[in-house]
Every structure is written in C-alpha cells, then in structure tokens.
Amino acid sequence: MIQKLGLGGGCHWCTEAIFQSLKGVSDVQQGWVSSTEAMSFSEAILLSFNPAEITLWDLLHIHLDTHSATSAHQMRKKYRSAVYVFSKNQKAEVENTLEALQTEYSEKLITQVLPFNDFRKNSEEYLNYYRRDPEKPFCRNVINPKLNKLRKKYRKQLDPDKISLSEAGE
C-alpha cells in the first residue's frame, strides 16, 4: 500500500534529487509545505513510497543524514527540519523512529513531526531540478556531494535505474 510523507530540512532541489534516487519511492513533488501547527510555508517535498520496498526507518535516516537535522541555523524558517505526517498512526511511527535514530547523533535532533496541512508545488521550470541539468554549478557543488554520500552509505536503498551507483563527476 502506497503511503505519503512530507520532508523538509534543506533546499527542496537537493531533497527532491535525493529521494528521487531511492527504491520504493514512486513520486516526489517539490515545493512548500505548511502544517496545522506551523502555518508558514517552508521548502519541502511530498513523496509517495511503498513500505514493502523502502522502510520509513530508511527514509527518515536518509533525511536526517542529508540535511542539518541538529542545527538551529538562521535559515530554519525557510528550511524547517520537519517530517509532515498524514495520520495519527504515521505520526506515532515517525516519532518512535526519530527517537530511536537519535542515538546515532551526538547533538539533539531538531526535526519536528508536524501534521500536513497544505502544499504549494514549485514552478515547472524548477521541478526535477537536478535531473534537468546536473552540470549546473549548484548541482555539482551542493547536490552531488549529497548524492555521493547516498552512494556510499545507502547503496542498498538506491535504485540503479534512477541514479548511477558510481560517484557523480567520474
């Protein structure tokens, strides 16, 4: 059964490229998300995933490892570290998973678990940002290092039909 989840934390171009690369993720929409608890919109993605192919644990672990999940930096309003959930059961599962994953980080995770409220999709010209032109300076300098981290640490979760398993730029 396909589930939905929202993730925010860093640039939505980066987050989109990361989660488009994974097995079991069938759709990634990039834009801005608001919550019933945090009404301001923040950059994020909505994704559809099959838990039989990729676990919530893996999705959250990858999310935490690919943005500043322990840093309350000055751009947090634009880049809220959050998981947007669609049900009370999903909220409980995400909270339990984040609590268990906390043991892997020396600093406290600041990632919020928030009920999804609304989504505003980005302009067409910015969708599939990395896939459209991976040679752009932002892609080479910011997104490629994150994708390379995925290739090293999360190889089993990557879909070789969606991403080269060799490092970008080779």
Provide the whole-model pTM: 0.94
Measured distance CA(148)–CA(127) in Å, rounded: 21
Residue 140's pLDDT is what? Answer: 95
Q: Which of 19, 96, 21 is nearest to 57 (CA)?
A: 96
The pLDDT of 73-97, averaged and rounded, is 92
Measured distance CA(84)–CA(91) in Å, rounded: 8
The percentage of the chain sitting over the pLDDT mark of 70, rounded to a whole number, equals 98
Residue 168: pLDDT over 70:
no
Domain made up of 3-157: CATH architecture: 2-Layer Sandwich (3.30)
Provide the CA 94 distance to its chain's centre, in angstroms.
Answer: 14
> Could you tell me where the DSSP H helices lie in the chain?
12-20, 56-65, 88-101, 129-132, 137-138, 144-153
Residue 169: pLDDT over 70:
no
Residue 164's pLDDT is what? Answer: 87
Mean pLDDT score of the chain: 94
pLDDT digits (tens, 9 = 90+) for 22-81: 999 999 999 999 998 877 899 999 999 999 999 999 999 999 999 999 987 777 778 899
Residue pair 56/94 in contact by the 8 Å Cβ criterion: yes
Residue 10's pLDDT is what? Answer: 87
Q: What are phi and psi of 68, to 5 degrees?
A: -80, 80
Residue pair 13/90 in contact by the 8 Å Cβ criterion: no
Residue 74's pLDDT is what? Answer: 77
